[in-house]
Amino acid sequence: MCQTEVLSVRRDSTGIEVDVETSTGDFESMVFNKVILSGAFPFRSGRTYRSPSNSISVVKYRQSDYYTTVLKIKGLEHLPVGFYYFEEFMDDPATIGNPVAMQRFYSYTNVFLFWSYGNSANVEGSTVLHLAVDAVKRIGGEVEMVVLQ
């Protein structure tokens, strides 16, 4: 859902409802049983953490170092546009730093985005980059250039 604006997030006893405006100007509501929000949010209302259920949620909050690495890759031209998960790195905390997902946005370019989690203690940008390059090699690609991290 590229270029989609989140208009509101509401929670009640049945779940979480997220209202969005799509890039075409359509409005859509999506319902989830759980949702993870990430980013910096403008708090325009003092009611954000007022209810007891919200207080419990705040206790569950934790900060994670999050890395987006953009790589130009040769050898993966056969992959269609899409979002790919690295299942082997999704659930095992011992694999922190490895990419959990890779995305190819456009078929006419060999630029891919990689998402990884680190920690501020010993898994930082250089380690995350090295592990992303290793993942590319394992799936048959060759990194031509690091575009951004």
Q: How far apart are CA 114 and CA 106, in angstroms?
A: 14
Q: Which two tokens stand for residue 137?
A: 């090699």
Q: Which two tokens stand for residue 66?
A: 């999050």
For the chain, the farthest-separated pair of C-alpha atoms sits apart, in whole angstroms, at 52
Q: How far apart are CA 105 and CA 113, in angstroms?
A: 8
For residues 9-19, give the mean pLDDT.
83
Reported confidence tier of residue 36, pLDDT bands at 50, 70, 90? low
Helix (H) or strand (E) holding 111: strand 111-118
Q: What percent of the chain has pLDDT over 90?
A: 40
Closest CA to 98 of 62, 123, 73: 123
Q: Read off the pTM.
A: 0.58
Q: Which two tokens stand for residue 79?
A: 């992959």
Task: Encode pLDDT of 97-116 as tens digits.
Answer: 999 999 998 999 999 999 99
Task: Encode pLDDT of 46-87 as tens digits.
Answer: 545 455 555 445 444 455 577 889 999 999 999 999 999 999
